[in-house]
Structure 1
Amino acid sequence: MHLKDGTYNDQADGHGGPIKVAVTVQNGKIFQVKIIAQSETNGIADSPLAQLPPKIVQQQTYDVDAISGASMTSAGIKNAVKKALVQAGAGVTAHAEKSVKQEKAAATRQITTDVAIIGAGPSGLAAAVTAGEHGLKAVVFEKNANVGGTGSMGMGPLGIDTQIQKDNFNDISVEEAFAEHMNYTHYRVNGALVKKYFAKSAETIKWLQNMGVKFAGAFPYFKGANATWHIVQPEDGSTPGPAAASWMNKRMYHQAEKLGAKFYLKTPAIGLVKTGERLTGLVAQSGNQTYEVSAKFVLVATGGFASNKEMLHDELGLNLNEDFFDFEVPGITGDGLKMMWQAGAKKDKASETVETIFSLPHNIRYFHSDAGLRQPNLLINQNGERFMNEAEMGNTTYTGNALMLQPGHYAYCIMDGQMLDEYMETGVDIVNIVSPGNPFGGIPDEIKRAAAEHYEGIIAANTLAELAEKLAIPTGKLTQVVTDYNKMCAAHQDPQFFKPAKYLRAISGKGGYIVGKFYLAAYATLGGIRTDENMRVFGKHNQIIPGLYCSGQDANTIYGDSYNFTLPGNSMGFAINSGRMAVEAMAEQK
């Protein structure tokens, strides 16, 4: 490949918007790669922004390994450099030559293994490690270029009765947690599965620690919740936050490889293979290379369908990026569920739901505003009506459930400039461990950016009449609801929904009005099939399908209609533990 000397600028989409690069070629070689503009999330995107440019220079190719936990930023950088190199002459000819060689080498490859795992998120990774520990040969097929999946956006798993909890005098017993969870779900879940998962969770925390995973502690999600959320301590010494669990995923990935697991990245499974009534393998494909895999056991751990617009609409009546928003993790499109249904698994529509939260649309790009504007102030729907006690906004599941009942699945949370100044001094009203401790300093710049980008999630206005026009609520209606709310604040009493007096902050309009438009959102979808407590999949006639197992979000039917945030860390905890439980059940049959 011959490159023409010069500097070439181009761009490609990352997670937060376009990433612009300048690529300098000297003496026909890639000499320098510079990021000249980007709007990625601080912290999460720091590693790829710093590490990929020199790596591209060192390896003399844009096609370097992505950074785990920041796949979209990594892809944006690589694609921008690729486009710049095309300008420099690495165009169609070079890629065509490579394609011809690939086509000539293309063949169907046969693989025989004990365990074939579909998906390399936390559940698939835990399963791969467990297979190696039990002497089972494992192969893992992952459609994305790196491991971790949605789990790389998370912070850590649930643990019950762990040493970390005991050391901080906040332990909860398995018996207590089980009773609380079953009461929360009104017993509309598989109690045997819940009990086995909870009872295993403490040993799993120790198992992760033995792999080198460090935890910052065990925390509640909000006041009143149990301290079951074991937050991963990033190995670079940074403060734990969103994507902290990517360090845990790296540890599991390396341990699985060390124990003999073989990973096939950018290689999606495209079908399951049955011989008679038994699952006996799968077919996967990477480009024009096909893999036909014969396996004693197949584990599906593909993470749900939160990024599949069609499935969300058909299965749950939600419209992605219209009245519902997710984490925008690519590839979470329900492939595993569809393959299992096609192979005879019973479709359990009753178990399908979402891990409900609420957020600004595409909130990662406006992270400070998403955290700061969700304070327990006046919250109204499109009709200009309050509909809940805003003090409950700390429980994102309850608030998401309430939003699901509102027109358009959204609501407006209103404050003014004076209140924002006060928050800058005093900090948040409701503390949770996900949001920055004091996010308010970043809000003014995000308000300006929102106006420039015509972003719907943040609305600013100088007068109530202007705000009414922007919200498309009649001025008289908005004026009346604000007036009524301010009277409650003056009386220190909320006779409508009984919000505590300490959260009744009057809206004066001083400094202008600031509004966050919060939508129904979710970390992930849940369910779609049923398993027993050993993660074996049930068929259409409620029989076990021999050889077929499922773990993680596709098999997560333990919440009933609402995620249980009183025991936080639950989804990641279920993913890791169910992956281990599935393979341990396989090992008993080998």
Structure 2
Amino acid sequence: MAELGEPTETIQADICIVGAGGTGTAAAIQAADMGLKAVVIERLGGYGGSFIGTEGMTGLETKYTSGENCPVFAGAYNPTAPYGVKNALNTCLNYHHWIPSHKLHEAYFGQMKEIIDWLEGHGIVFADSIAIGAGPKIWHVYDKGNDASPGGHFMQCFGAEAERLGTEARFNTFGRQLIMEDGKVVGLLAEDEKGNVIKVEAPVVSIGTGGYANNHEFLYGVSETKNVNIQALGMECRDGDDVKMAKAAGAAMAEGLGTVMWCGPVTLGAVTATWTTDAYSAGVQPTLWLNQNGERFCKEDLWIDDFAGAGIAVRNQDRTFALFTETDTKRWEAQGPDGQVFSFGTSGTPLAKAREDLMNAEGCHVGDGYYTTCGGIKVNEKTQILDEEGQVIPDLYAGGSDAGGLYGDSYDVKFAPGSQAGWAVNSGCLAVKDAKEYPRQVAYSAGQRLP
């Protein structure tokens, strides 16, 4: 990055939030609830970020998953007990081989009920609590109103709430450099689309910009993928700059830095940024998947219950091919898909557009698709960023896809569907709650210390 010029503007705030997706918007609204002045720096033109691609989030012991509605899950650590916080905690940590911090999981899972209620208090509507495949019914899917996308509708409502509460947001503006003094953060240098440098003086900075999914060089460098074709699904702005910005300020990277939410075959040329197309849905059906040697490498219906597991199976091949026939396509039109997925979900759905897309694609050659990265900056249970010695960098936080430490080698969709979306919101709130706890000089509050 070129050296920044002198700031043309200085803003004072109690907290500077980098990113206006689920994590950043949650942090901004939480800050407003606590009477803190937040400034949001966002590279896109409005609220949303990669969170618009989500459909629901994990919720445990909420009003939707309590009492008679509390699931009992055969795949749980304790399959005869209700699938509440304790059971889900042990189940997920076992799935991740106890690589993540149990304290981080406890902090996250333990406030899920509170966060679901908090979201509803800020205008978010949940349509239902459902399962993915044979998993537990804890996926709290959002109402999508009259919009096509549940996540898009969520962020439209959430962003409007942040505006209503008086959040100052600078859109089309990039976070460039953390300002450090005596080992602690005191603000951020940002740059708008015209090249103007903005200095934000704030005693707290929280980073939540969506990870590094679109930076293939970064991803190949830190993940285990062997597949020569990988395909990010979702927003195109996730390049890892803010993860690197934190590292330049002394942040350590969490174990599992290359953890990725792999999701299985994506037909090359047929899908660019979304997973709601019929061409994508056809490619992940349990037909026949072959690798570069013409070998079948996994049980294809794995995708239905555990898309992350199927994605890892594809990740470990050099090249992948998904084979299906016109007979399959006609069956899907008449009877619906073999595995229910997104828009491609009901009998009687014509697949003319899918055929057109697939004809324009590279035959049955697929890349390994992934929704997001989910391993990054090392944080503790309060989402405070840690340095290489495991010490807290004062007043610097990370959440959502920028933070690591929540997963082992893969995403836990079978045991906590929507855990990454839930983590985005929960981590944004955890950061602000912790920042409020400690007395410090607050720039915006005219030198008054926080109560």
Which of residues 376, 380, 383 in structure 2 aligns to 1:532? 380
2:45 to 145, 154, 179: 145
Residue in 1 that maps onto 2:34: 134
Aligned to 1:388: 298
Cα deviation, residue 152, structure 1: 0.7
Tell me by how many angstroms 1:272 deviates.
0.4
Among candidates 378, 383, 388, match of residue 288 of structure 2: 378
Q: Can you list the C-alpha shifts for 1:416-438, whole angstroms capped at 9, x where unaligned?
A: 22333233222222235x34313
* Residue identity in the other structure for 1:213: I
Give 1 or 2: higher helix fraction: 1
Q: Name the CA distance, whole Å, in 2 between partners of 1:133 and 1:353.
A: 33
Q: Is the 8 A contact 1:403 1:411 kept in 2?
A: no
> Unaligned regions of 5+ residues in structure 1, if any?
1-105, 460-515
2:129 is aligned to 218
Corresponding letter in the other structure for 2:185: L
Q: 3-state DSSP class of the match of 1:164?
A: coil
Aligned counterpart, 1:463: none
1:447 corresponds to which residue?
A: 355
For 2:172, which of 266, 273, 290 is the aligned residue? 266
Q: Is 1:123 matched with 2:23? A: yes
Over residues 547-587 of structure 1, what are the superposed CA-to-partner deviations in whole Å (9 max), with x where a residue is unaligned? Answer: 11111111132110010012101100001001001100001
1:94-136 deviations in Å (ceiling 9; x for gaps): xxxxxxxxxxxx9611111110000001000000000011111
Per the alignment, residue 62 of structure 2 pairs with 162
Letter in 2 for 1:269: G
Q: Give the TM-score taking structure 2 as reference length.
A: 0.87
Q: Structure 1 CA distance, aligned partners of 2:186 and 2:286?
A: 54
Q: Answer yes or no: is the 8 Å Cα contact 2:213–2:238 preserved in 1.
A: yes
State the alpha-carbon separation in 1 of the partners of residues 179 and 340 from structure 2.
49
Determine the C-alpha separation between the residues in 2 that align with 1:573 and 1:272.
27
> For 1:449 and 1:519, how far apart are their aligned partners in 2?
15
Other-structure match for 2:446: none
SS of residue in 2 equivalent to 1:245: helix
State the Cα distance separating 1:295 from its structure 2 match: 0.6
Q: Secondary structure at the match of 2:261?
A: strand
Q: Which residue is equivalent to 1:337?
A: 243
Secondary structure in structure 2 of the residue aligned to 1:198? helix
Q: Distance in 2 between matches of 1:447 and 1:244?
A: 26
Q: Which entry has the higher C-alpha Rg, 1 or 2?
A: 1
Question: 1:519/1:280 Cα in 2 relative to 1: closer, same or farther (>3 Å)?
Answer: same
For these two proteins, the number of residue pairs brought into alignment is 416
8 A Cα contact 1:307 1:328, kept in partner:
no
* 1: CA distance, partners of 2:283 / 2:231: 17
Alignment of structure 1 residues 61-140 onto 2, 5 Å: 108-140=8-40
Provide Cα deviations, 1:475-527, integer angstroms capped at 9, x if missing partner.
xxxxxxxxxxxxxxxxxxxxxxxxxxxxxxxxxxxxxxxxx443212111122
CA distance in 2, matches of 1:168, 1:387: 41
The answer to whether the aligner puts 1:360 opposite 2:267 as a matched pair is yes
State the one-letter code of the partner of 2:422: G
| Equivalent residue in structure 2 for 1:573, among 416, 419, 422 | 422
- Give the partner amino acid of 1:539: D
**2:333 pairs with 424, 438, 441, which one?**
424
Letter of the aligned partner of 1:290 in structure 2? V
3-state DSSP of counterpart to 2:277: helix
Query: Does 2:207 match 1:300?
Result: yes
Change in CA separation of 1:319 and 1:152 when aligned onto 2, cut-off 3 Å: farther
Mark the CA change 1:440 to 1:559 in structure 2 (over 3 Å): closer, same or farther: farther
Counterpart CA distance in 2 for 1:348 and 1:205 is: 27
- Distance in 1 between residues matched to 2:419 and 2:429, nearest whole Å: 15
Select 2:88's aligned residue among 158, 177, 195. Answer: 177
Q: Distance in 1 between matches of 2:153 and 2:259?
A: 28
**2: CA distance between counterparts of 1:141 and 1:150?**
15
Contact 1:141–1:268 (8 Å) recurs in 2: yes
Amino acid paired to 2:303: M
Quick one: distance in 2 between partners of 1:218 and 1:328?
24
Quote the Cα distance in structure 1 between the aligned partners of 2:377 and 2:232: 21
C-alpha offsets along residues 263-322 of structure 1, whole Å, 9 cap, x if unaligned?
0000111110001111110001111322111111000111101111332233336599x5
Structure 1 Cα separation of the partners of residues 398 and 325 of structure 2: 49
The alpha carbon displacement at 1:370 in A equals 1.7
The residue number in structure 2 matching 1:401 is 312
Q: Secondary structure at the match of 1:390?
A: coil
Distance 1:126 1:319, change over 3 A: farther
Number of the residue aligned with 1:190: 101
Contact 2:379 2:404 in 1 (8 A): no
Kindly provide the amino acid, as one letter, of the partner of residue 296 in structure 1.
P
Determine the structure 2 residue equivalent to 1:351. Answer: 257
Q: For the aligned residues, what is the CA RMSD?
A: 2.2
What does residue 445 of structure 2 align with?
A: none
Q: Is the alpha carbon distance of 1:168 and 1:519 closer, same or farther for their aligned partners in structure 2, counting shifts above 3 Å?
A: farther
Question: Which of 417, 425, 438 does residue 346 from structure 2 map onto?
Answer: 438
Contact 2:231 2:368 in 1 (8 A): yes
**How far apart are the structure 2 equivalents of 1:165 and 1:209?**
15
Q: Offset at 1:161?
A: 1.2
Greater relative CO, 1 or 2 (CA 8 Å, sep 6+)? 2
SS at match of 2:111: helix
